[in-house]
Amino acid sequence: MNREFGYLRVATAVPPVTVGHVSENVTALLALAAESAAANADVVVFPELCLTGYTCADLFHQEVLLSAAEAGLARFAAETALLEPLFFIGAPVRAGTRLLNCAVAVQRGDILGLVPKTYLPGYGEFYERRWFESGQTVKKLTVHVAGREVPVGTDLLFVNEAAVIGVELCEDLWAPVPPSTALALAGAEVLVNLSASNDLVGKSHYRRGLVKQQSATTMSAYAYCSAGGGESTTDVVYGGHRLVAENGHVLVDERGFSFAPELSVADVDIHFLRHERLHNRTFSAAGSAAPLVPRDIRYHVSRGPLNDIKRCPPPLPFVPSHEEDRHRVCDEIFAIQSLGLATRLRHTGLKHVVIGLSGGLDSTLALLVCVAAFERLGLPRAGIHGVTMPGFGTTDRTLGNVTKMCDQLGIPLKRIDIQDVCQQHFKHLGHPGDQHDITFENVQARVRTQMLMDTANMVGGLVVGTGDLSEMALGWCTYNGDHMSMYAVNIGVPKTLVAFLVEHVAGTRDEAGLRETLHDVLATPISPELLPPDEHGVIAQKTEEVIGPYELHDFFLYHLIRRACPPRKVVRLAQLAFGDTYEEAVIKHWLSTFIRRFFRQQFKRSCVPDGPKVGTIALSPRGDWRMPSDADPAAWLADLD
């Protein structure tokens, strides 16, 4: 994947440090520098004070060690002159009568800048204030180090064509307001932390939480690299914790407890971070009030292709891959859906709902939500009025599952055969009735909606909509047919997640026989059942054969809308996510279908009923998504081609 798609490769590198032996440490650093450059890294983060060893203690005041450190910096710079990455190595640096604990930025043989640590711990096992001074005492200075004048300060940002990088060290992240917050508000998109955090029981979990939260708060990529086993001495042990997080999502979490060199690599999506900051007005408002006026240290890199991306997007981005997380998410979504419906019923004072039941996934989930909402309100299930309306495409399988579900849940079910009514419509329209065109299909959908609305008037209730987020994104609904309801409980749930929700609820209900019925619903092909079945009475009209696989469309929805990826990038990501399941031509075909339908069907989304937002994507015009109904998809299709 070319770097034009906005990925930046970040490496965290833990060398085998020998405390006090600078020349040996430089050799170890150079080996990892070469390895990270071979891995095509753009930024490489080493641990705090790795040039000398973090645990040198009073040796930091020895001329021998400090002179060796300066010579070591000069050697590292000279021997990495042909390497492209921007390296951050930890070293003690003298600034007049002050000694600073610094992150030293080195690229192509040049020492670009020095960032001193701001917060020096002086508690527990840490005594840094005994040897170092805070970076707060350094204001827009330069220092003479390794034969050159180098800018030093906590206000430095390292800027190239691809990203803006800010730096802090270890304890800085533990502060109530980390320096990285101001750096991010000043423009830093990637934050790096050179650390020497010893290991205690539970401490790694806490570090992970800090890195994850700071990356989310600052809408940044955060790369953290801590000292390894060679630093372990006296009463402390270091495990070499390496973390990379992107906007609250952890990409790397590794800890070797090793004396060997360790390298972790992650590709962070700079384009996505820029989208998030552009989209989030709170971030820009906070940035306008930021007190930091940074000094930009500009450098250039010759960025080659990045074809072996180090992250594989999940094929089902809306469905957590771990079972425990999936059940937790399903619990939350189901609670949001049922509470939303219960709130609407409380507000209106209604004690009845009407729901059209087809035997498909969406109406099944909506029925289960209605049951949960009535349980929340302590209302009898007799107030849930199931209506099944067999038409020209209804099969015995789906009709049988509706009947069984309602029996098992204790829901009254009304059957209204709509074929005669539809035939009357065809007669008035002058339609032949046996011509299976769009009119043939949509007459059925609108008749069903009319029946539901009229039934709701009769019982004094509201019509619960069953359509889901994926259908609304594609406009796969009949305008003023199944498009319309009085409260749409599934409108925030993508199709790929609907099945998992039904399966999850199947495992939590104890009604006799319900689980088996729900599993058969899950095994039923997705279909609107508007066209006649085949000669064996089996569903012939299959939605995914007409509009494409929902797993692809949900993938497109997530990456086009949530992450604002250009179509070419979506194609490449889909190839990575689905492997050999779909050829590139197939992905492009269905992505083109998605883009065309998403744009051309916006008018349906401009007047959708209320429904609960359950995730990071919602297409309600009253909430997350405002789009002109007549926008042209030409630019997106051109990018795809």
Catalytic residue IDs: 48, 117, 170
List the one residue out of 79, 97, 74, 77 whose CA is nearest residue 145: 74
Give the β-pairing of 241-246 and 249-255: antiparallel
Burial level of 635, CB count in 10 A (0-12/13-18/19+)?
Answer: exposed
Q: How far, in Å, CA of 25 to CA of 69, rounded?
A: 10
Phi and psi based region of residue 292 (left: phi greater than 0; alpha: psi -120 to 50; beta: remaining): beta
Q: What is the 3-state secondary structure (H, E, C) of 371-388?
A: HHHHHHHCCCHHHEEEEE
- Those residues whose C-beta lies under 8 Å from the C-beta of residue 589, and which sit 6 or more positions away, are 548
| Residue carrying structure tokens 């709701």 | 456
Q: How far, in Å, CA of 267 to CA of 256, rounded?
A: 21
Supply 11's token pair.
């490496």
List the one residue out of 97, 95, 16, 106 whose CA is nearest residue 53: 16
What residues are paired with 149 via a beta bridge?
A: 144
Contact 405, 377 (CB under 8 A): no
Strands annotated E in 455-596? 462-465, 487-488
CA 96 to chain centre: 47
DSSP letters of 386-434?
A: EEE---TT--HHHHHHHHHHHHHHT--EEE---HHHHHHHHHHHT--SS
Neighbours of 458 (CB within 10 A): 11
Q: How many CA atoms lie within 13 A of 184 on its CB side?
A: 28
